[in-house]
Structure 1
């Protein structure tokens, strides 16, 4: 086996062994991110258009725990953002994020929604080149006291920019994390900025549209990967339960397995050259992957029967984890709306 295959096997085993504790809130995702970073996997293909290696990593981790896969996606996206930052900003943060020593928060959902024409950027600076920034971040994940937050904001002239700030910086207020269904270990919550200073050396870009155009293919493809990850596990588990009363679901299983194969093939075809994929194709794949995950975990739960209601059962956990996907930004509603603009 190659070193990468050995590392991937070690990482998925680590996540598998911790999945139940993550689900029950006995731990959080930081050890998982450190383990992945320690194997040198977080920065695989960083800055390139061929992202198949990181796609496989996200998919395999999510197949063991969507909480870990989701936080891995957020960590990698923070790396994607900061890789594109000016040299001094990149050098300050990149190594710590790539090693997993520090956790990255992606708070860019508002920017993608804004550029789709669905709202204004909620964070506002009082000067053209940053200054002090105030406003809310409705939702972000990996929000720990020592995290690094990458976020969009409007400058004093109303133009979109992206900045980076430490979660423990003066004026950053982390709201108490709500109790979440299956994803409490991801430290997902809202934040408020109250006159948070952002200097010129904390600016990632002054070109929000160009920046988001560059990162969006990776953003959506890796989200699709954590969807196919959990879907794949549910499909495989369902395939073991098609005897007896389960035989009544064989047609449904075959249809679902076919959808899974088609979606996964499309994912890796696009991941081979992420930036060449038409935007509508990215949106369609992301929408189908999320639907597939919900449908697959529902079928697994149905086939598992009453045993699937046990809280510590993997079937139960996957069913609860997948319930998050229709509302994960971009939500199913946003994806449908954006696709309607291509009709």
Structure 2
């Protein structure tokens, strides 16, 4: 049940899968990080799929592949790819400065847009405050959660002015005034360099403003955002269902009907994911929100069933079953959280 799609990049994708598979235990322990995975993808031309004539389904398949081997790696790749998405939609000054190195994977990207997406949905204001100064803006405030936060990263984030103005900005992580807080110990995601930041009068020149219309920008990127998030849900769900299928013997046969139901749900999820990716600009956003919510549900249920079928062996911390179970626990709280997704669906009835 692992990801498959027609692709001229199939050999490169298999190379990536093998690399991530070999490093999955180290990633789980936090003894390495996701920069190596991003760099490999970039060297193989797999990070800028979904732009121009390349269908978004190609990028969906890449993130599925990576996430089937390690959700830490898949999550890091998704965050990087979204940063590239934002930069690609910016003016020439932003693209010229950042796009090539993000596409090559030589610089890692941080998506810190959760607060912006929440504001665009009507769920609170962005806490980053912008003040106009000569040549650009100064920004102060917290970024409460972001991933891939390495010292040499590129960060895209929202801000708002007291006068009602809004912005999407891009900076280097080592810019003066950027404070990176120590990363907390996380369940299964220590390799993702996920943490909070504090900005203190960070100067952003006009040439590094991706957008001056936060709501319209968030609406433009959200279809891709949700589809690629669903990709890592689909990736880990497929891996768990494949593993579980081999355990439906003996006492495991008692769970055959449950596994079959989940497998049907997974196929429905994946069929919708690839259908939507093929026409991403024409899909109602409500359908994409439902897709992302369904993805989280299927992934959590699949990893739980795999753990049940595996039994005591899967309770060992180093076992892949245990790792997938822990990784999937993050999906209902990742932004947009299950609560936000449900609320947004309720508002669109």
Q: TM-score, normalised by structure 1?
A: 0.98
The equivalent of 1:233 in structure 2 is: 239
**Please, which of 64, 85, 92 is the counterpart of residue 59 of structure 1?**
64
The equivalent of 1:140 in structure 2 is: 146
Q: Deviations over 1:116-152 (max 9, x none)?
A: 1100011011117742110000100000000000000
| Distance in 2 separating the partners of 1:240 and 1:186 | 30
Gaps of 5+ in 1: none
The equivalent of 1:193 in structure 2 is: 199
Q: CA deviation at 1:3?
A: 4.8
The equivalent of 2:258 in structure 1 is: 252
Gaps of 5+ in 2: 1-5
| Distance in 2 separating the partners of 1:134 and 1:18 | 38
**8 Å contact 1:50–1:274 — kept in the other structure?**
no
Aligned CA RMSD, in angstroms, stands at 1.3
SS of alignment partner, residue 198 of structure 1: strand
Structure 2 residue 270 is matched with structure 1 residue 283: no
Q: Deviations over 1:82-103 (max 9, x none)?
A: 0011101101100110111000
Q: CA deviation at 1:158?
A: 2.2
The equivalent of 2:3 in structure 1 is: none
| Distance in 2 separating the partners of 1:288 and 1:118 | 22
Q: Kindly report structure 1 stretches of 4+ aligned residues shifted beyond 4 Å.
A: none
Q: Deviations over 1:17-66 (max 9, x none)?
A: 11110001110001010001110010012256930000000011100000
Q: Deviations over 1:64-85 (max 9, x none)?
A: 0000000110111011000011
**Please, which of 11, 20, 29 is the counterpart of residue 15 of structure 1?**
20
| Distance in 2 separating the partners of 1:54 and 1:2 | 10
| Distance in 1 separating the partners of 2:231 and 2:52 | 18
Q: CA deviation at 1:292?
A: 0.5
Q: TM-score, normalised by structure 2?
A: 0.96
Q: Deviations over 1:2-25 (max 9, x none)?
A: 751110111111111111100011
